[in-house]
Structure 1
């Protein structure tokens, strides 16, 4: 079996503080990723967002889609609402043969809120964790039925 390794463009481009890396083009990031041996990249914010545009862009840069970030809100939504919120991205990633979608719960994050220390972030009780895990499992099962793996990124 041959191993394929992918990387996120955020290794080159800061999504939280975009001004830090504004001069660094996506094309440069993709070129350098290929030069050091990566065969895939996650979908980046500077890439086309429509499926055919993204397909053409990746093909033109000779690199595959290996996944991509999905800002979830399952803490605030029902599973049915979350499915509707992620449906288009799941369909796109299936169409582009991405091996996974990188799901992160972002509804209660303090990331990007400079006025809130990380130590003051929301914390879940055991019961809240159980409820959340059940909802996340339902979402993952739905995604699996669509042909997509949910990879969880904890925040």
Structure 2
């Protein structure tokens, strides 16, 4: 039975619904190895340059705490996607680098996201898709 008095969904519900659709698309388009990773792991992998990056710098880039990035990096190391080693220029810092399989996951993720975006752009139309991306960019850049 439908509740006719149900209020319109709030923004968190709308974001959750949209993320579920996008994640389902991504899972469909990703090779098996990428489906086992959380979206946050895939996002973090995308920030790691070929030469590697310090945990603290990765945290800044991803907008996370160094402790959270350290935990994510350990998770990714456990599945063979990154290596953690002392930074040769500062032994106190740890350097995160992609393994060969990690680079494959980043390449596959990039292709899957492009395909997913093309699919949703076609569904919504170019104008609506561009407005959505613009609104999300503005919202993400807003402070306080």
Shorter-chain TM band: under 0.3
Higher helix fraction (1 or 2): 2
Higher strand fraction (1 or 2): 1
Question: Which TM-score applies when normalising by structure 1?
Answer: 0.25
Larger-gyration structure (1/2):
2
